[in-house]
Amino acid sequence: MERLEFRFAGRPGTPLSADGEALVGVVGSGNLEVMIERADLGGACEASVDTSIHGFGDTWQQVIGDFVERRGLANIRLSINDGGATPAVVMLRLDQAWAGLGEKAP
Amino acid sequence: MIPARHSFLEATARARVRGLLDAGSFREFCGPAQRRTSPHLPALGMPVAFDDGIVVGEGTIEGRPVLIAAQEGAFMGGAVGEVHGAKLTGLLERALDTRPDAVVLLLDSGGVRLHEANAGLIAMGEIQRAVFDARAAGIEVIAVIGGRNGCYGGTSIVARSCDRIIASEEGRLSVSGPEVIEAVEGIEEFDAQDRALVWRTMGAKHRRLTGEIDEIVADDIDAFRSAVAAVLGAPRPFDLDALEAEHARLAGRVARFKGAKDAREIWAALGVNDPDRVSDIEADEFNRLVAVLEGDRP
């Protein structure tokens, strides 16, 4: 197992506007679960990844960084348990998690 | 037009819970945000799941209060580890306090999570005891089987400890799985690759015909929901008389079918005219067949 921690600037200074969380995906071979939570991070975003495949930190950073930027996220914490998913599957799950969080918005 | 079906088999544990309960009624206990994950898997270098592969909570079915659990078959084959088992045991114990109309267990599991060894085995014993405590208090416990893993090992023992079992044709119920039997007894005894053999030996239709499963439904979440709703609040007797009657039934079954080499011989002996067709017919036709057979019994 390898644990990776990332922090992205997001939109600095943005106040936390809501709370809530969503969980999508299931940990399995080539699959992953993503929990997305709103948290007061001063507008930043954080991600922690536990993955069964070593040595892909740069790829994770790029995929998650792209997701945060593309969606214009702030005050989001992502927690990921990974069973060796490909970047395309990871991106799919991230978008699915964001959609799931939207369904629960107050 | 064919009415839309939402496959129970294909759904995740969370989707099954959402589909069985009244919309918006579900309240989860020990949800994933609490991160109650397995303490054992990281030591083995294996990924954990935030809910340890099981969803537990409360809600309503047609307005009636139930406690519900759903095993996530895609995480480690739905196998029962320490946290997973504790969530199930805790849910059953809660029933003693809140007295719901039923505890509904959506089982999809190969049994004990062997990575967690003794903790998983102990958990299985605790779950079974909690099922019996709930039943002794007059609370119905319903097992539902329709996932890809079927219901094997200790989980099958838990299922048979419940008041009743509702399953789809896709469901399987057995203590030992096909691969285990083949490994122990040899491929001449049981070919685990022979899916027709697996289903007619462990499949839900066979288990229904031999009296271990109570109802067969189509692989449709709404069909499961209707079947559960129809039996809510109808616990079976749980006393010495019921136990002795069940032992007598099982002894009679062994005596009657001990010479059978294949499930089809048993079906024929039960009065099925065309045993080779049983595997092919849909749930509705199968249930009509069962009704006829049971109506014929003295």
Residues of A in contact with B48 (CB under 8 A): 27, 50, 81
Q: How many domains does chain B fold into? A: 1
In a domain, A43, yes or no: yes
What is the model's pLDDT at position B87? 98
Per residue in B133-163, pLDDT tens? Answer: 999 999 999 999 999 999 999 999 999 999 9
> Would you state the torsion angle of the CA atoms of residues B170, A28, B192, B201, taken in this order, to the nearest 10 degrees?
-30
Cβ-defined contact of B33 to A37 (cutoff 8 Å)? yes
Q: The domain that contains B24 carries what CATH number? A: 3.90.226.10
- Please give the interface size between A and B, counted as residue pairs whose CB atoms are below 8 Å apart: 43
What is the model's pLDDT at position B251? 96
Q: Which of A24, A81, A93 to mutate to test the interface with B (most CBs of B within 10 A)?
A: A81
Report helix, strand and coil shares of chain A as percent, to nearest 5: 30, 30, 40
Q: Which one, of B119, B127, B168, B160, lies nearest residue B142 by Cα? A: B160
Residues of B in contact with A81 (CB under 8 A): 47-50
Per residue in A21-52, pLDDT tens? Answer: 999 999 999 999 999 999 999 999 999 999 99
pLDDT(B124) > 60:
yes
DSSP label of A85? -
In a domain, B154, yes or no: yes
In a domain, A75, yes or no: yes
Q: Is A91 helix (H, G, I), strand (E, B) or coil?
A: helix
User: Which of A23, A35, A50 comes nearest B47 by C-beta?
Assistant: A50
Cβ-defined contact of B50 to A52 (cutoff 8 Å)? no
Q: How many domains does chain A fold into? A: 1
Mean pLDDT for chain B? 96
What is the model's pLDDT at position B5? 82
Residues of A in contact with B74 (CB under 8 A): 26, 28, 31
Helix segments in chain A, DSSP class H: 57-71, 87-103
Cβ-defined contact of A28 to B32 (cutoff 8 Å)? no
pLDDT band at A103 (very low <50, low <70, confident <90, very high): confident
Q: Is A96 helix (H, G, I), strand (E, B) or coil?
A: helix
User: Which of A35, A52, A79 comes nearest B47 by C-beta?
Assistant: A52
In a domain, A82, yes or no: yes
Please tell me the distance in Å from B32's CA to the nearest CA on chain A.
Answer: 7
Mean pLDDT for chain A? 94
Per residue in B6-41, pLDDT tens? Answer: 999 999 999 999 999 999 999 999 999 999 999 999
What is the model's pLDDT at position B1? 62
Nearest CA in chain B to A78: B33
Per-residue pLDDT, averaged over A69-79, amounts to: 97
Cβ-defined contact of B47 to A83 (cutoff 8 Å)? yes
pLDDT(A104) > 80:
no
In a domain, A16, yes or no: no
In a domain, B148, yes or no: yes
In a domain, A79, yes or no: yes
Per residue in B246-290, pLDDT tens? Answer: 999 999 999 999 999 999 999 999 999 999 999 999 999 999 999
In a domain, B276, yes or no: no
In a domain, B54, yes or no: yes
pLDDT(B297) > 80:
no
pLDDT band at A106 (very low <50, low <70, confident <90, very high): very low
What is the model's pLDDT at position B30? 97
In a domain, A17, yes or no: no
In a domain, B252, yes or no: no
Residues of B in contact with A27 (CB under 8 A): 47-49, 75
In a domain, B3, yes or no: no
Domain ranges, residue B190:
13-237
Q: Which of A26, A34, A77 to mutate to test the interface with B (most CBs of B within 10 A)?
A: A26
Q: Which of B14, B30, B41, B50 to mutate to test the interface with A (most CBs of A within 10 A)?
A: B50
What is the model's pLDDT at position B28? 97
Domain ranges, residue A92:
2-11+22-103
CB neighbour list of residue A31: distance below 8 Å, 6 or more residues apart: A25, A83, A85, A89, B74
In a domain, B264, yes or no: no
Cβ-defined contact of B74 to A50 (cutoff 8 Å)? no
In a domain, B296, yes or no: no
Residues of A in contact with B84 (CB under 8 A): none
pLDDT band at B298 (very low <50, low <70, confident <90, very high): very low
Cβ-defined contact of B49 to A35 (cutoff 8 Å)? no
Spatial contact of B131 and B162, defined as CB atoms under 8 Å apart: yes
Could you write out the three-class secondary structure of chain B?
A: CCCCCCCCCCCCHHHHHHHHCCCCCCEEECCHHHCCCCCCCHHHCCCCCCCCCEEEEEEEECCEEEEEEEECCCCHHHCECHHHHHHHHHHHHHHHHHCCCEEEEEECECCECHHHHHHHHHHHHHHHHHHHHHHHCCCCEEEEECCCCCEEHHHHHHHHCCCEEEEECCCEEECCCHHHHHHHHCCCCCCCCCHHHHHHHHEHHHHHHCCCCCEEECCCHHHHHHHHHHHCCCCCCCCHHHHHHHHHHHHHHHHHHCCCCCHHHHHHHHCCCCHHHCCCCCHHHHHHHHHHHHHHCC
How many Cα neighbours within 13 Å face the side chain of B246?
Answer: 13
Q: The domain that contains A91 carries what CATH number? A: 3.30.230
Integer distance in angstroms from the first to the last C-alpha of chain B?
A: 41
